[in-house]
Chain A
Amino acid sequence: MPRSETANSQNASAVRTSRTLTTDMLDLEALKSFDKIKSDDGSDILIELIDLYLQGTSQRISAMHKAADERDERQLKDAAHTLKGSSSTLGLRQIAMACQDLEAASSNSPGDVPMLMRLLESRFLEAKPALIGERNRRLLLRNKFNGAERH
């Protein structure tokens, strides 16, 4: 295969991989279903929801670490349950699954908690770029529309 064709095929495969990753980590269709709902000022509510999710999840994961270190089963279970709810609603199925496993492990198999916490953290780190990308795309669109309305 000529060199340029190889490079093209590698690029195409990278794009495919990144799209697949995005789909695995973040179900954009689930997110899109909330397009109809507008925030108080009539703008895209998903920008605000993603911001709240990103802020809240970092804090929640820290609280879960603390609860795991202190073997506070109730606290860990409650935090995992709450995070599972918003993650599944926003289409972050892998994070929701990790939370579900943590919820179960907190009472049934506490020995698995450290490994599951690492898994949750890595899934959050993997999902973050896709979420930020989607947020920025929507922000750009909003600014574009606002600019067009002003002119």
Chain B
Amino acid sequence: MSQFQMTFKKPTPNRVLIADDDPVMRHLLAAVVKQQQCEVVIASDGREAYRVLQTDSQFRAAILDISMPFLEGLDIVHYMRSEKRLMKIPIMIITAEENLKVMSDSFSAGATAFLPKPFTSEQLESSIRMLLHSQKLSRIAS
């Protein structure tokens, strides 16, 4: 048997799930994610996001609006954190809520990042960059 063993790490998928019921926000978020050389999978409400995640776990990150029809962003966070195959996907919550409790609820549920509206392009771009690299950082740390 060879003295050396090679381990192949599964490559990190380069797709990002964006779930938002607002077409303006979806378009803006998708453009920023694409600028980071990632593919985009769009869901226009919480139920659609849930359906996508039921059969597909190959995502580098997920960006979820907190307030969506049928299923809210936090419901999706709870679902993702309870499923082994989705557990490690970094999640960013976006919201127009001004209530600080929403932020603490998001982190308690397992969100990785939180971005309140309104935001500038710099805030949006740096949050998305951080989100996309957070999985890499946590792998290095562990």
Question: A interface vs B, CB < 8 Å?
Answer: 30, 33-40, 45, 48-49, 52-53, 56, 78, 81-82, 84-86, 88-91, 96
* Partner of A85 from B25, B32, B35, B69 at Cβ < 8 Å: B25
The number of inter-chain residue pairs (CB within 8 angstroms) is 68
**Residues of B92-135 whose CB lies within 8 A of A:** 95-97, 117-122, 125
On whether the beta carbons of B27 and A45 are closer than 8 Å, the reply is yes
Instruction: Name the one of A38, A52, A96 contacting B24, with C-beta atoms under 8 angstroms.
Output: A52
What residues on B are CB-neighbors of A35 within 8 Å? 121
The answer on a CB contact under 8 Å between A86 and B25 is yes
A96 / chain B contacts, CB cutoff of 8 Å = 118
Known: A34-B121, A52-B23, A88-B118. A39 touches B31 (CB 8 A): yes
* Cβ B96 vs Cβ A84 within 8 A: yes
Would you call A89 and B35 a contact (CB within 8 A)? no
Give the chain A neighbours of B118 by CB distance below 8 A: 30, 85, 88-89, 91, 96
Q: Which residues of B contact A49 (CB under 8 A)?
A: 24, 27-28
